Structures are given as structure tokens and as C-alpha cells.
């Protein structure tokens, strides 16, 4: 009987320790995510310098990530295709693509309710277009 109690206490203790480790990892990841999102600064790119072509850009903020293929012709963004979009509730942010193409600018309003995903998408577009201007 004593041996069974020891095994149960050991098992419960092990489960609690593992749970605490995963909980701490989640909190650390969440703090990194919030810091990354807070530090995102979207810079507009000069499309007059953009050469015709297709450019891949990505941005990873841990819980959110975006990888896009931006197509440029005659100094205009003609298409943006998602290669990857990791989101929580940020699926509506994908609508920002049409805003960027219509405005030919990264200085567009984020999608309400999906602000963080919008920022991640915009940053991935900026990263794609910036390759051509370095």
C-alpha cells in the first residue's frame, strides 16, 4: 500500500513539474511574441526602384507568421500570393492584400480585429520588396 502511494505521489509530482515547465515556456513565448509585434515598424518601399519580377518575403512573430510572393511589373505590385499564413484569429487580415495592391503602398490601415496579423503580413510584403532595393 505504501509503495502505491509513493508511485502516485511521484507520478502527480512529475505531471505537475512537466506542466509548470510547459506553462513557463508558453509565458516566455507569449512575452517574446508581444515584444516582436510591438516592435514591428512598417516602412514604405519605393516602387519606382522596384524591378519587374517575383519576390519572396516572410516575417515570423512566433504565434503569427506570413510568407508571400509579391509580383511586380512596371513599378507596380500586380499580385501578392500567400505561400504561408500562420494565424490564430487573424484570417480576416488577408484582406489587407487587396488594400496594398489598390493603394500601391504598405501604408494602409490594418484590418480591425486582426491588427497583429495585418502587421505581420505587411512586414512580409516589405521584406519581399526590400530585397530588390538593397
pLDDT of 134 reads 53
Neighbours of 73 (CB within 10 A): 13
Q: Is the pLDDT of residue 30 over 60?
A: yes
Phi, psi torsion values for 70, nearest 5 degrees:
-105, 125
Q: Where are the domains of the chain?
A: 1-39, 47-133
Q: What percent of the chain lies above the pLDDT cut of 90?
A: 74
The per-residue pLDDT for range 36-51, each reduced to its tens digit, is: 999 999 998 999 988 9
pLDDT of 133 reads 61
Residue 132 CA: distances (Å) to CA of 6, 46, 51, 109:
65, 10, 7, 24
The residues, any chain, with a CB within 8 Å of residue 13's CB and separated by 6 or more, are none
Pick the CATH number of 47-133 from 1.20.1090.10, 3.30.910.10, 3.90.1010.20, 3.50.50.60: 3.90.1010.20
pTM of the model: 0.84
pLDDT of 89 reads 78
The residues, any chain, with a CB within 8 Å of residue 33's CB and separated by 6 or more, are 61, 62, 63, 64
Amino acid at each position: 500500500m505504501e509503495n502505491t502511494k509513493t508511485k502516485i505521489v511521484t507520478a502527480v509530482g512529475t505531471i505537475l513539474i512537466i506542466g509548470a515547465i510547459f506553462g513557463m515556456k508558453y509565458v516566455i513565448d507569449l512575452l517574446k511574441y508581444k515584444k516582436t509585434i510591438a516592435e514591428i515598424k512598417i516602412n514604405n518601399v519605393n516602387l519606382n526602384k522596384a524591378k519587374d519580377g517575383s519576390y519572396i518575403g516572410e516575417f515570423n512573430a512566433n504565434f503569427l507568421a506570413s510568407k508571400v510572393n509579391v509580383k511586380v511589373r512596371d513599378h507596380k505590385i500586380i499580385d501578392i500570393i500567400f505561400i504561408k499564413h500562420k494565424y490564430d484569429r487573424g484570417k480576416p487580415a488577408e484582406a489587407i492584400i487587396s488594400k496594398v495592391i489598390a493603394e500601391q503602398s504598405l501604408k494602409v490601415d490594418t484590418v480591425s480585429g486582426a491588427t497583429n496579423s495585418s502587421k505581420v503580413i505587411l512586414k512580409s510584403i516589405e521584406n519581399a520588396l526590400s530585397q530588390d532595393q538593397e
